[in-house]
Structure 1
């Protein structure tokens, strides 16, 4: 059975991918003087750019850049401009995996952020259920979960993990809603309602 999805490809990209619109890129990826001072401690241009890109991703969308992932060209060009280097320098970043992990560790400490953990699951499920009570739209439910994590400086897990939780939360909320509809109704009324579902063979 193919996996079920609660998000369309467009909604998933909007929630989990870096923006491509110029105004959004400027809003999310303009570095402060403190950011720039930290970034410029790296010696090589490639390391400065890679470090800056990691900082950008951790802030928004709020996750970790994949080991083999390349940032959108518009985002990379804007960040490289602030670094005074070329976007092409990124291709030589992270040749040592240790460098990447060292940078991520330093940046998580700088941002006071941490990875998503199993203990966070209960609170995220609660946020999903609260949203599903008011709207069962998948993008609204996942967006509420993401907002909950961002407020607590918890890095986003893979989109598939949050979608799975959102599907379960929506199913549970619907089940509760259906139950509430018939709670307190006399058995005769319930039987009459069920009879409406019977299809006459003729």
Structure 2
């Protein structure tokens, strides 16, 4: 049995607990330890279910299977913080991904700088470190201004990887254009997914939710 806890509103305590077996089978919801709903099977969950909470408010759940397979959870029509239907869940994930990429790329830049200094000598390049730092900055911006940070990341990541490939080749290591394209897709996927969810996040009712 898998279990996850959620806040019903931003900043509140984690009062909601969802538990299920397998792939969202036998889904149960409890609030403050009191069971408020149980799924009537995966077919019903795909269509969406609505349960009343002790305070009279409504909890909606639906298993969305269009492109991304997501368990949508809404309280009074609003996505529950931390749930997969909440655009900010994806935005935060993309932001942390950019910060992690910044750390890895800065470490790579440092190692490559040592390799080039040993093999070729000469001045130490600054631009690679600037681009890696800019990716980290885009991650920080994403937490405050999601669209700006995500778009900046989408532009910076391929440029950084292209320049990295040029550096590796200059240091005697062969990097193919396909390698650059594949790594770009890997790093861009969470950014593009976050942008998509901000514009087309699905709802329990089956519509889409646009986040400004």
Q: TM-score, normalised by structure 2?
A: 0.24
Higher relative contact order (CA 8 A, sep 6+): 1
Determine which structure has the larger strand proportion and give its number.
2
